[in-house]
Chains A and B, each alone.
Chain A
C-alpha cells in the first residue's frame, strides 16, 4: 500500500526525492579507467537514460551500481546510504535490480520459475522450513506464483509461462528478464539495452511496458539503450558517457542538440 502513496507523490512531481546518486564514481582495471568521475542524480520516479557509444562504460556503470564491481574512488549512494562494495545480493535486497545486456536467464527453468526466483527475494519464510513443506511456505510459493504470472502478463508473456526460458525468442527473453527484475520489488530498476534486437513493433510495446513499470509499479527506471529514437521517446532525462566520462546530461532535447554528443556519435547518430 505504501507503493500507491509513493506513486502518487512521484506522479504529482511535487516531491523529488533523490533515490540514487553517483558521486564521481571511478573504476580502473589495471591501467584502463573504465568509468571516470561520473556523477549524476536520480530522483524517485525518474525515467532516466544512460547512453553513449560502444565501450563508453555504460554497462560498467551498471556493474558499479549493482555491486559487481567496487568503485576505485567516488561514492554510490542509494537513498542516502553509501553502498560501495556491497555484495550484489545485498544491493538487490536494498531495492536495486537489473537486467543484463547479454541475457542471463536461468535457461533450464520455465519463464514463470525465472520470475519466481526474483520474487523469492521478498520471501518471509526461512529455507529450512521448505524441507518440511510447512504450510506458510506453500502459501507463500502460491503467492509468488500468482505474482509471477501477473508480471508475465505485464510484459506480455502470459502464453509462454511454462516454456523453458532458453526456448524463448530473443525479444521474449529480454522481456522475461525485465519481469524477473521487477519481481524483486525494486525501487530502482536498471535495464541494460532492453530493446536490443527487437523489431520496431516490439520496441513500441516495450516502451509501453517501461512506462507502465514506472507509473503502475512506481519503480524508478535507469536504462541503457543504443536506439536513440527509443531513448528519446521514452526518457525524461539522459546522461551521455564517452570513454568512461560524462559528456552531457539533461532532457532529451538538449542532448539531441549537444555538439559533444553529436561528435561522440558521429556517423552513428545519423543512422538512427
Chain B
C-alpha cells in the first residue's frame, strides 16, 4: 500500500511539476523555447549516460540518434500529410512513439558493433555512424537533402518535453534501483568478470544502445516539431561531443550529474548571449580578455597544485582565495599593459561573441579540477545531507 502510495505520489508530483513548468514559462515565448530545448538536452544527456556512463560503451554518435528521430517524424509528416488532421498533442505523442521505436531499431544496428569493439574503436564507429547518416541525408533529395525539411504542424509544449525528460530520468533511475541495473554497471566495470558472473554482456550492451537511442529519437521528434524545420546542419558532429561532455562533466554514471551538466552547459552560451549592461551586450577589450585568459590559466594551475599537493584545509582555502584574488590583480595589471600593444588595444568584443570560448574554458577548468565529473559516480540525494555519506552508487 505504501509502495503504491509513493509510486502514485511521485507520478502526480512529476506531472504536476511539468505542468507547473509549462504554466510558468508559457507566457514567455523566448524562455518557452529554451526550456523545451533544455529538457531535450537533459533527455539526450541522460540517455547517453545510459550507454556511456552506466554501461561504459564509448559512444559519440548521439547526434545521429537525435537526427534519426527528428527525420523519422519529419519524413512521416511529409509523406502522410493527412496525419495533420489529428489533434497536435496526440500527433506529437504518436510521432514520439514511432521515433522511439524507429530509433531504437537504429540503436540496435549501431549497438551490434559494440559486441566486438571496445573503447576508441567503438567510439569511431559510432562517430562514423553519425557522419554516414548526415551524408546520406544530405544526398537524399526526396527527404530534402541538404535543403532541409519543413515539419508541420509545429507543436510547442513544455509539458511533453519535460515529461520526456522525466520519463528518461525515471527509466534510468528505476533501472539502477534494481539488481538488473547492477548488470549494466558490472559490464562497465569489468566485462570478463561480469560475464563470469553470468551476465549476458551482449544483451546488456544492446539493450543500453537501444534504450539510449530510443529516448534520443523521441527527443528528436519533439525537436522536429518544435523547430518546424530540420536539416542536416541542425545536427552537427559537434553536438555529439557536447552531449558526451555533459555526461562526463556531470560524472559518468551519475544521472543527476547528467541532468545538472546538461542544464548548465546548455545555459552557459544562452546566458552569455543575454548578458548585458543597460541593454547593451557586455563588452570588454581584447586586451582585457587576453589578460584574463593568462590570469585564469595561472589561477587554474595554482588551484590544481593546491588540490593535489596541499592537504590541510586551511592552507587549501587560503591558496584558493589567493588564486582568485591573484587572478583578478593579474588581469588588471596585464590589461593595463596589453592596452598599449596595438594589436590588442583598440579592439572590443562583446561577451556574446566569445560565448564558446568561455564555454570551452569552463569545460577545461572543470575537467582539470574535478576529472571524475562534478558528481563523480554518485547521485545527488537526501543522503548528502545525512552525516554519513553513502558510497553506494545504486540500490
Contacts and interface: CB of A to CB of B under 8 A. Distances in A.
Interface in B27-64: none
Contacts of B23: none
Contacts of A88: 192, 195-196
B182 interface: yes
A120 interface: yes
A37 B175 CA distance: 46
Contact of B189 (A108, A138, A144, A167): A108
B395 A116 contact: yes
Contacts of A68: 192, 196
Interface string A102-124: 00111111101100111111010
A100 interface: yes
Interface residues of A, number: 46
Q: Which applies to chain B's interface (DSSP): helix, strand, loop or mixed? A: helix
B164 to A, nearest CB: 15
Contacts of B130: none
Interface residues of B, number: 38
Interface in A240-258: none
B221 to A, nearest CB: 20
Interface string B189-216: 1101111111111010001000100000
B179 A120 contact: yes
A183 B53 CA distance: 26
Contact of B171 (A131, A141, A144, A167): A131
B395 to A, nearest CB: 6
A87 B192 CA distance: 11
Contacts of A137: 178-180
Contact of A140 (B179, B198, B391): B179
Contact of A89 (B175, B178, B200, B377): B200
B180 A127 contact: yes
B175 A131 contact: yes
30 contacts: A68-B192, A88-B192, A92-B195, A92-B196, A92-B198, A97-B196, A105-B190, A106-B185, A108-B185, A108-B189, A109-B182, A109-B189, A109-B394, A113-B185, A113-B392, A113-B395, A116-B182, A117-B186, A118-B197, A120-B182, A120-B199, A123-B180, A127-B180, A130-B179, A130-B180, A131-B175, A140-B179, A144-B179, A167-B391, A184-B198
Enumerate the 9 nearest inter-chain pairs by beta-carbon distance, A residue then B residue, closest first.
A92-B198, A106-B189, A121-B198, A104-B193, A130-B178, A130-B180, A133-B174, A120-B179, A88-B195
Given A104-B193, A104-B196, A125-B180, 6 more contacts: A109-B186, A110-B393, A117-B199, A140-B179, A164-B391, A181-B197
